[in-house]
């Protein structure tokens, strides 16, 4: 290469390298452009009808792909089960797919696989779920209504599923996050509240469950009058009616109407600090929060916005503080966990053991700040813009739509709630958020839970004087 060409290339490269930091610095000082106008988005129309046996059917049409999701929701979740039989609802839900009078669980699985369908049955806190996703051409064949109407509950499968539940419990409670979450709900809710118990049960309650318990629970709780069939995808109203009648029109089971579920909160007048020991842990799981939130509250959307500011996204306050500023954690966030009766609002994070007390200082301070100081208009606008602009993307698939509509059913909100969801979020003001925070958050009366190596975290936490300190074992019993 000629010398003068080499010099020119080196000079050009040098200029580029030298000018790069300057360009970065300039970019960091320039404010981002303002958000544009809200792009039009129309949430799909939601239609509703009932079968003669009382089954509620909800149709959401989405014809972009020839795919349909059908989800049967039954008011037979863990919130309905007796405390002494905690885990019965989840066990029954899992066993639905393990056989009917004419097919074994393995045969059902092979049939679904041959249709290219995704099929699952389970029960969580709020409901039992029977879910099918399939192409429209095979969807009626894949609906598998018999597994709901006439399950066989094989004895051998009962033992296997119980063992899986016990193993899952041990796995969750081998981690600090599972220990902290369990302790938080036990501390936040009265012992008679269904939410004070894990939906999947505990070893002491799962072990004694029998096949007769499962059969009686199914006979008592599974009926069309207590169910909603949610159909989402490429179906017309006429097709939806035909499929619903074909699958569930002959279901004749009955059950008595049940009263709404209550989740009484454990009364408290000051901050409680609960420590759960996990010897040798290299990290601690922290939770800061309180109970008492529902989607039917008049300030629900204001709390959605507040939650996003505090911990709903990567650029939220708690993540920028614990992760970006201090390096205590790989990530931190907050959650508005809504349940029938009453839910909870909480900050949570996994942090380095050596930084546990310092991370708690920052988490509690952020909780207090969002509860007591107005959120600046620009910060709130950024949070609201994220919520509003990301919503359409979250409901592009039939699965996303199904999940959103299920929330409305479980929470007791109108099924057309999302038709104006973005518009209502977009006009939330700093005063709206300030009012919600002042009315709903009690920063000097919260529950602080830490699960970690007690030998390393207890003394530093006590020295901080966050509140009255209690030490619990892994089963939720106070030991001192």
**Distance, CA of 21 to CA of 100 (rounded, Å):** 68
Residue 151 in tokens: 């399950």
DSSP 391: H
Is the torsion defined by CA of 300, 178, 445, 473 positive or negative?
positive
Contact criterion met (CB below 8 Å) for 148 and 222: yes
pLDDT of residue 32: 64
Query: What region, left, alpha or beta, does residue 44 occupy, with left being phi > 0 and alpha being psi -120 to 50 degrees?
Result: beta
Q: H-helix or E-strand containing 38?
A: none
Cα radius of gyration rounded to whole Å, the chain: 26
452, 454, 456, 462 alpha-carbon torsion, rounded to 10°: 110
pLDDT of residue 35: 64
| pLDDT tens per residue across all 480 residues of the chain | 444 444 444 333 333 444 444 554 544 556 667 766 777 889 999 999 999 999 999 999 999 999 999 999 999 999 999 999 999 999 999 999 999 988 999 999 999 999 999 999 999 999 999 999 999 999 998 988 999 999 999 999 999 999 999 999 999 999 999 999 999 999 999 999 999 999 999 999 999 999 999 999 999 999 999 999 999 999 999 999 999 999 999 999 999 889 999 999 999 999 999 999 999 999 999 999 999 999 999 999 999 999 999 999 999 999 999 999 999 999 999 999 999 989 999 999 999 999 999 999 999 999 999 999 999 999 999 999 999 999 999 999 999 999 999 999 999 999 999 999 999 999 999 999 999 999 999 999 999 999 999 999 999 999 999 999 999 999 888 998
Contact criterion met (CB below 8 Å) for 409 and 74: no
**Distance, CA of 16 to CA of 420 (rounded, Å):** 50
446 burial (CB, 10 Å; 0-12 / 13-18 / 19+) is buried
Tell me the CATH number for domain 272-472.
3.30.830.10
Contact criterion met (CB below 8 Å) for 286 and 340: no
pTM of the predicted model as reported, rounded to 2 decimal places? 0.89
Please tell us whether the domain made up of 46-248 is placed in CATH 3.40.50.720: no
pLDDT of residue 4: 46
- Every domain of the chain and the residues it spans: 46-248, 272-472
pLDDT of residue 102: 82
pLDDT of residue 6: 44
Question: Is 272-472 in the same CATH topology as 46-248?
Answer: yes
Q: For 119, phi and psi rounded to 5 degrees?
A: -140, 135
Report the SS3 class of residue 347.
strand
pLDDT of residue 476: 87
pLDDT of residue 348: 98
**Distance, CA of 49 to CA of 415 (rounded, Å):** 12
- The residue behind tokens 């360009």 is 23
């Amino acid at each position: 290469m000629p010398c003068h060409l080499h010099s020119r290339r080196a000079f050009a490269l040098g200029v580029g390298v030298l000018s790069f930091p300057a360009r970065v610095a300039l970019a960091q000082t320039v404010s981002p452009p303002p958000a544009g106008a809200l792009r039009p988005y129309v949430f799909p129309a939601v239609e509703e009808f009932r079968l003669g046996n009382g089954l509620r059917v909800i149709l959401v049409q989405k014809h972009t792909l020839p795919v349909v999701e059908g989800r049967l929701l039954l008011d037979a979740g863990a919130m309905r089960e007796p405390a002494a039989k905690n885990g019965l609802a989840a066990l029954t839900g899992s066993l639905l797919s393990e056989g009917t009078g004419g097919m074994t669980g393995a045969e059902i699985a092979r049939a679904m696989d041959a249709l290219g369908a995704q099929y699952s049955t389970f029960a969580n806190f709020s409901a039992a779920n029977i879910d099918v996703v399939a192409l429209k051409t095979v969807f009626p064949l894949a609906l598998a209504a018999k597994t709901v109407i006439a399950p066989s509950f094989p004895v051998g499968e009962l033992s296997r599923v119980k063992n899986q539940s016990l193993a899952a419990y041990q796995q969750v409670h081998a981690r600090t996050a599972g220990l902290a979450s369990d302790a938080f709900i036990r501390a936040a809710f009265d012992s008679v509240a269904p939410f004070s118990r894990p939906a999947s049960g505990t070893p002491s309650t799962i072990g004694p469950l029998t096949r007769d318990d499962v059969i009686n629970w199914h006979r008592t709780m599974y009926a069309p009058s207590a169910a909603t069939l949610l159909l989402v995808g490429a179906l017309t109203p006429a097709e939806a009616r035909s499929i619903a009648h074909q699958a569930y029109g002959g279901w004749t089971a009955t059950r008595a109407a049940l009263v709404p579920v209550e989740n009484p909160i454990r009364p408290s007048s000051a901050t409680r600090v609960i420590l759960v020991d996990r010897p040798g842990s290299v990290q601690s799981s922290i939770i800061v929060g309180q109970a008492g939130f529902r989607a039917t509250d008049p300030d629900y959307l204001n709390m959605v916005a507040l939650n996003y500011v505090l911990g709903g996204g990567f650029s939220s306050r708690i993540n920028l503080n614990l992760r970006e500023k201090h390096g205590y954690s790989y990530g931190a966030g907050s959650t508005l966990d809504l349940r029938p009766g009453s839910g909870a609002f909480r900050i949570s994070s996994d942090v380095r053991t050596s930084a546990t007390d310092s991370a708690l200082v920052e988490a509690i301070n952020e909780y207090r700040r969002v509860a007591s100081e107005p959120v600046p208009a620009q910060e709130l606008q950024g949070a609201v813009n994220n919520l509003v602009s990301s919503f359409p993307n979250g409901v592009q698939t039939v699965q996303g739509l199904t999940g959103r509509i299920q929330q409305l059913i479980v929470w007791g909100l109108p099924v057309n709630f999302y038709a104006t969801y973005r518009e209502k979020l977009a006009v939330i003001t700093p005063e709206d958020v300030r009012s919600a925070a002042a009315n709903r958050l009690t920063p000097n009366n919260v529950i602080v839970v830490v699960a970690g190596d007690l030998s390393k975290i207890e003394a530093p936490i006590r020295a901080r004087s966050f509140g009255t300190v209690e030490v619990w074992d892994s089963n939720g019993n106070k030991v001192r």
